[in-house]
Homo-oligomer: A and B are copies of this chain.
């Protein structure tokens, strides 16, 4: 037996397997419910992490351009689907660290989603604008759905696609940045069935779907307000909500448009990052009226609820991106101002919320906090860490 013929399992696990002889030893096995990945954008690699031991288990290289990359997980939580900025779609085995499939499926892509049944992976592409759909088993090609629209002169154009999410019933929803449209694709039949919602607002730039998968909400770069699609009542079309949400008349300088995916839904309230202002906003989810503004440290980027909804964690845009603030969701008080490092890019809660992992790109580290004591538990070294994604997302609608 040649040692180099062994596929790479976690460091240590391979040795145990060898010591134990020709057996599928229990030591060689590993649950996948407490795994996750850290995107290391500078090196185009993923660090595979264990949230129980709070350590890095493995590093996976060769994933291409991972700036602004995002990750989804297979329903068995064994595989990560990595959506690279360069159009690369990779399937990574978290247990062996292998890339089991990889396709260069476009020139420029921006995230993806997995169907409710776990069988389809959809990718949002800038160039050529559209959505491509692959089988989750081997990334075999399933469908190409160009994001076409008709411009004011009657010509067919293609648009960049953003804000792609999964919706219940093996559907995908996404927005066309250039067209100002939202498209809904139903993948239940033999061929994709497309429904177009036009004139939803100027330049939708990002979107979210609520945890039940009913409401799809797109942010607008070109005007104020948000576009809402109620997937229980698609006949009603698009509704405009929070008409003052955006940069307003003054066209404030905005360092970075906030992420919508990070919206916190706590009770009957949605907590969202103001655009360009040093404020976190609260809206009532029954009528989508703005009810409160909370002054914070900088321009918020991510506004995320701890899973028990008792705390709201906020990260900020440059030049305030070395700070994270924690808000008590009941009293609205800022209960902590933390310094996790330089250029904080992402936060990820453990599934039941006892810890949060925060990436600080320019400090080359990920800091883990206890969310009850608000104290630092440990730091992990990581080169230019950006997105952090844990496998529990596999079981949540829209994540």
A6 with B33: CB separation less than 8 A:
no
Tell me the complex Cα distance, A397–B352, Å: 6
The smallest C-beta distance from A1 to any residue of chain B, in angstroms, reads 5
Instruction: Across the A-B interface, give the 10 residue pairs with the lowest CB-CB distance, nearest first.
Output: A33-B77, A31-B78, A31-B76, A351-B395, A17-B24, A34-B76, A24-B28, A168-B308, A31-B32, A392-B395
A15's nearest neighbour on chain B, judged by CB, is: B24
Contacts of A31 on B, CB cut-off 8 Å? 32, 74, 76-79, 95
Given pairs A24-B24, A29-B95, A351-B394, 13 additional interface contacts (CB within 8 A): A9-B24, A9-B29, A18-B22, A26-B95, A26-B96, A26-B98, A28-B29, A33-B74, A33-B75, A34-B75, A52-B118, A116-B353, A214-B308
Task: Answer yes or no: A291 CB below 8 A from chain B CBs.
Answer: no
Task: Answer yes or no: A396 CB below 8 A from chain B CBs.
Answer: yes
The A302-334 residues at the B interface (CB cut-off 8 A) are: 307-310, 330
Tell me the complex Cα distance, A95–B78, Å: 13
B6 with A23: CB separation less than 8 A:
yes
Task: Answer yes or no: A128 CB below 8 A from chain B CBs.
Answer: no
A199-218 CB mask vs B (1 if < 8 Å, else 0) is 00000000000001110000
B22 with A116: CB separation less than 8 A:
no
- Interface range on chain A: under 10, 10 to 19, 20 to 34, or 35 or more? 35 or more
The A283-314 residues at the B interface (CB cut-off 8 A) are: 286, 307-310
Tell me the complex Cα distance, A23–B4, Å: 11
The smallest C-beta distance from A377 to any residue of chain B, in angstroms, reads 11
Contacts of A17 on B, CB cut-off 8 Å? 22-24
Tell me the complex Cα distance, A176–B203, Å: 58
Q: A residues bordering B, Cβ < 8 Å?
A: 1, 5-7, 9, 13-14, 17-18, 21-26, 28-35, 51-52, 73-79, 93, 95-96, 98, 116-118, 168-170, 188, 212-214, 232, 266-268, 286, 307-310, 330, 351-354, 372, 391-392, 394-397
Contacts of A353 on B, CB cut-off 8 Å? 116, 168, 397
Copies in the complex: 2
A21 with B1: CB separation less than 8 A:
yes
The smallest C-beta distance from A241 to any residue of chain B, in angstroms, reads 17
The smallest C-beta distance from A63 to any residue of chain B, in angstroms, reads 19
Tell me the complex Cα distance, A13–B372, Å: 42
A10's nearest neighbour on chain B, judged by CB, is: B24
Among B24, B32, B268, B308, contact of A77 (Cβ-Cβ < 8 Å) = B32
A9's nearest neighbour on chain B, judged by CB, is: B24
Among B78, B307, B395, contact of A397 (Cβ-Cβ < 8 Å) = B307
A309-B214, A392-B395, A397-B308 as given contacts; A29 in contact with B26, CB under 8 Å:
no
Contacts of A391 on B, CB cut-off 8 Å? 33
The smallest C-beta distance from A225 to any residue of chain B, in angstroms, reads 24
B354 with A116: CB separation less than 8 A:
yes
Show 30 residue pairs from A and B whose CB-CB distance is below 8 angstroms, ordered by the A residue: A7-B23, A7-B24, A7-B25, A9-B29, A17-B22, A24-B25, A26-B95, A29-B30, A29-B93, A31-B32, A31-B76, A31-B79, A32-B32, A33-B33, A33-B76, A33-B395, A51-B75, A52-B76, A116-B353, A168-B353, A168-B354, A168-B372, A169-B372, A212-B266, A212-B309, A212-B310, A214-B309, A351-B394, A351-B396, A353-B397
A26's nearest neighbour on chain B, judged by CB, is: B96
